[in-house]
Structure 1
Amino acid sequence: MKHTKRILTGLASAVAALSMASVSPAYAADGYDRCPVGYYCMFSGLDGTGDMIKLTSNTPDLGALGMNDRAQSDWNRTSSTIHLWSDTGYTGCTTVTPAGPTGKGNFFPTYRDFFSSVQFDGPDSPICAS
């Protein structure tokens, strides 16, 4: 009986210690951090919120990915300069998102919900006026 009581006391102490231990949940990326290295990402909301698409190659029609005229922010985590076109098939006017730390942020209000195609390292072209 004395042996059983000692085991139960030890078990109760172990349970109490475990219940006081801090359990931290796994980190779930949010905002811009959802964009993996090596990708160009567009977001339907400001500051990397909302729906996200991630690209590694030219995309002539963002409508096929549900992002035509919906993007409000982006992050270029590639080594390419990204050309954002106002119309499908790399037509209309364009603006660029550079590679590197400056390639992340909200689009100017004029360019929110505006772009229809994305070209990696595209040619110089008519720049969209704000």
Structure 2
Amino acid sequence: MRNPTRASLLLVAAVAATVLPATAAQAADGYDRCPDGYYCMFSGLDGTGDMITLNASTPDLAALGMDDRARSDWNRTTSTIHLWSDAGYTGCTAVTSAGPTGKGNFFSTYRDFFSSVQIGGPGGPSCGTPPGEGR
């Protein structure tokens, strides 16, 4: 039996490197999971946790498992989003703007708070802005 030479070992290593599967592109995480043209709600802060994607008004987030569970969002639509405190577009509303400012964590008072989402439209009575809290 012949001993492999350094050149043949390098050849084997080079062939092995070319047959190994290429590393897949890193999957999107956090807010980047939200597709363009959709409104996304996340159960965790900073776009983490469970995510739902919406492109139509949704009168009851319980049907999607997100009733009183959202903690952050990203509005990648061209419309203003009205977040309602209660199902059926009732209670009070908070607004998420379209565009780059439409992404972030909810005020701590409004985490695990919203029950329906209206895309566009007039909205309703404001839930207000908690004093000293930023989005």
TM-score interval for Structure 1 and Structure 2 normalised by the shorter chain: 0.7 to 0.9
Q: Offset of 1:17 from its aligned partner?
A: 3.3
Aligned match of 1:17: 14
Q: How many residues align?
A: 125
- Gap runs ≥5 in structure 1: none
* Structure 1 consecutive aligned stretches of length 4 or more whose deviation exceeds 4 Å: 8-11, 18-21
Residue 52 of structure 2 corresponds to 53
- Aligned identity (percent) is 70
* Normalised TM-score (structure 2): 0.83
Structure 2 unpaired stretches of 5+: 131-135
Alpha-carbon separation, structure 1, partners of 2:12 and 2:122? 65
Let me know the Cα RMSD of the aligned residues: 2.3
Asked if 1:43 is matched to 2:53, the reply is no
- Structure 1 residue aligned with 2:133: none
Deviations 1:80-101 (A, max 9, x none): 1000000000000001000000
Richer in helix (by share): 1
Alignment partner of 1:16: what SS? helix
Residue 120 (str. 1) matches residue 82 (str. 2)? no
| More displaced stretch, 23-32 vs 58-67 | 23-32
Mark the structure with the bigger radius of gyration: 1
- TM (norm. structure 1) is 0.86
